[in-house]
């Protein structure tokens, strides 16, 4: 850690990639908030020293914390999602907020298609079937083909388009619902979410978190998806009414679900764990070495850009 009157001081909310933390600490004075014995007491004494918050989509930055830092200039976040950051509070004070978009689009799309395939072809079930020794005395149930099915994408942004490209290679037909129709894609557009869900065999959620999408998928939407439909969520756990989903999975309202995100991570409801018609992964959408390194590079570029050039690379 380098310390001087001119060196910006960062409050790091939670642990980031070790190599990134080392890189930051070589250039800035870093205070590890999560390691403090008395965080609130520390803030009362040292809050005015903090120039920036270093955080992630997991740790966020609350309005209370932002307001407690009188000289805060920037919130630099690792990850594309920023619903855990009180952006409105920051912007009212002229505080810059950054994220790390773009570099993870293909990786997240890969994850979405991987769990979609695992769900439709019952890969997780088949794995458990073999491990339990059941293959010795029983035949595994047949799955359904992926080709020829409709993949309904909710949120046709960069990641949504990357998913569309991939599922087309498997012979799927793509349709989508967005806030508005896109002029740069030829896929079938549905003005209503329910209209898309009724048409889709697989509904893939790729929308941001936050109040605008909170419980976007509830009991009514799951009924629209129907008993032959599958839900894939790589967006945010908050986008789905988790209890409504559990009920729909238990009573056959929908056929199954593949979930990389949950409402209260890392806690996953026991009811989901008990179901066979689900694929569950621990929020690994961008979880490759290459992608996380690219995200770290962009995080640091935002930090350096803000303090050295007065302009971040990817402001929110």
Q: Give me the active site residues, please.
A: 236, 265, 283
Structure tokens at 271: 């009811």
DSSP for residue 308? I
Question: Element (H or E) spanning 78, and its range?
Answer: strand 74-78
Exposure letters 276-308 (e unless 16+ CB within 10 A, then b): ebbbebebebbeeeebbebbbebbbbbbebbbe
β-strand pairing of 29-32 with 173-177: unpaired
Residue 165 phi/psi, 5-degree rounding, is -60, -40
Q: Is residue 60 a contact partner of residue 39, using CB atoms and an 8 Å limit?
A: no
Distance (Å, rounded) from C-alpha 149 to C-alpha 200? 8
37-to-41, 43, 200 alpha-carbon distances in Å: 9, 12, 51
* Nearest in space to 21 (alpha carbons), one of 311, 292, 266, 286: 292
Distance (Å, rounded) from C-alpha 210 to C-alpha 82? 8
């Amino acid at each position: 850690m380098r310390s001087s009157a001119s060196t910006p001081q960062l409050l790091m909310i939670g642990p980031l990639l070790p190599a990134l933390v080392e890189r930051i600490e070589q250039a800035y004075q870093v205070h590890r908030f999560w390691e403090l014995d008395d965080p609130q007491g520390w803030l009362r004494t040292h809050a005015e020293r903090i120039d920036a918050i270093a955080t992630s989509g997991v740790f966020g930055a609350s309005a209370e914390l932002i307001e407690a830092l009188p000289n805060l200039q920037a919130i630099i976040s690792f990850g594309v999602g920023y619903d855990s950051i009180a952006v409105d509070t920051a912007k009212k004070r002229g505080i810059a907020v950054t994220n790390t978009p773009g570099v993870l689009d293909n990786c997240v799309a890969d994850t979405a298609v991987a769990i979609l395939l695992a769900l439709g072809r019952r890969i997780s079930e088949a794995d458990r079937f073999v491990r339990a020794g059941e293959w010795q005395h029983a035949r595994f149930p047949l799955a359904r083909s992926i080709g020829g099915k409709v993949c309904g994408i909710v949120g046709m942004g960069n990641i949504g388009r990357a998913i569309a490209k991939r599922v087309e290679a498997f012979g799927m037909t793509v349709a989508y619902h967005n806030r508005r129709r896109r002029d740069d894609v030829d896929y079938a557009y549905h003005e209503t979410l329910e209209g898309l869900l009724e048409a889709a065999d697989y509904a893939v959620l790729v929308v941001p978190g936050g109040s605008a999408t909170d419980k976007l998928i509830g009991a009514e939407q799951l009924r629209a998806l129907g008993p032959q439909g599958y839900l894939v969520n790589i967006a945010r756990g908050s986008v789905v009414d988790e209890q409504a989903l559990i009920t729909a999975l238990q009573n056959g309202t929908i056929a199954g679900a593949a979930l990389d995100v949950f409402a209260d991570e890392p806690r996953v409801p026991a009811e989901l764990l008990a179901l066979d018609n689900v694929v569950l992964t621990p929020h690994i959408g961008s979880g490759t070495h290459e992608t996380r390194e690219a995200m770290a590079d962009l995080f640091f570029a935002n930090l350096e850009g803000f303090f050295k050039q007065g302009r971040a690379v990817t402001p929110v």
